[in-house]
Structure 1
C-alpha cells in the first residue's frame, strides 16, 4: 500500500468548512509522516496567496492559518493549478510557503507516474 497522500481541493473560502476538512485530512497525513500533496484547483488556488486563508470555519474549528502552518511544518506541499491561478489574474511571484504552480503532469509525476511507484491515497474536496 502507498504511503503518499494527495488531497485535491476545488473549493475556496466560499465553503470554509469544506476547506477546513480538507486541511485537517492533509495535516493528519503529513503529521503522520506521509508525503502529502494538496492539489489546489478552481477557487482553491486563492488559498495559495498569502493573507487569503484566514478565519475560522466554525465554532471549535481550528483557524485556517494554524492548519496551513502545521501542514507546511510537517512537510506538506501545495501544487497550484496554473490554468486556474492565471485565469484569476493572481500574482505568480506571491505564493505561500510550500506552494508552487503545477498542473496534472507534475501531480502524476509526484504520485509516481510510470516509475512503478505504488501511487497515493487520494481525497477530493
Structure 2
C-alpha cells in the first residue's frame, strides 16, 4: 500500500520553479498510486480559480493546468479558507473538484498515521 502524501503549496507565479515543483510532486505521487491531498495556500490560492493555472508558464515544465487536473482527478485539492477569504475567493469562484477548508482539516490530514507532508 502506498503512503499518503499531503502537499502544501504556498507560492504562485512569483516563485514559479518552487510552485511548479509542488504540483509536479503531487501529480507524480497520484500517478504512482499514492493517496494525495494538495493544499493551495498563499499566492497558490489563485490556482483554485478557473483559468489561472492555464496562465502559469515555466519553460521546460509540464503545464501547471495539466498537473492540477491530474491531482483533481486522482486526489483531492483544497483551498485554504483564510487564504481564499483574504483574496475574496468564494465557493462559487473555484474550479470544479476544488474544496475550501481550514487549518483544522489540514492539521488532521498531516497528523494522520502514515502521512508524509511536504510544504513548498
TM range (shorter): 0.7 to 0.9
Which structure carries more helix by proportion? 2
The answer to whether the aligner puts 1:101 opposite 2:100 as a matched pair is: yes
In 2: Cα distance, 1:109 partner to 1:66 partner: 28
Residue number in structure 1 paired with 2:11: 11
Structure 1 residue ranges without an equivalent (≥5): none
Q: Deviation digits for residues 80-105 of structure 1, max 9, x if unmatched?
A: 11111111112321212321110121
Shift of 1:68: 1.3
Residue number in structure 2 paired with 1:123: 118
Q: Which runs of 4+ in 1 moved over 4 A?
A: none
Is this contact kept in 1: 2:2–2:35, CA < 8 A?
A: no
Choose 1 or 2 for highest CA Rg: 1
Q: How many residues are paired up?
A: 119
The answer to whether the aligner puts 1:22 opposite 2:22 as a matched pair is: yes
Structure 2 residue ranges without an equivalent (≥5): none
Shift of 1:37: 0.6
Matching of residues 39-50 of structure 1 within 5 Å: 39-50=39-50
- RMSD of aligned residue pairs (Cα, Å): 1.9
TM-score, normalised via structure 1 length: 0.84
TM-score, normalised via structure 2 length: 0.87
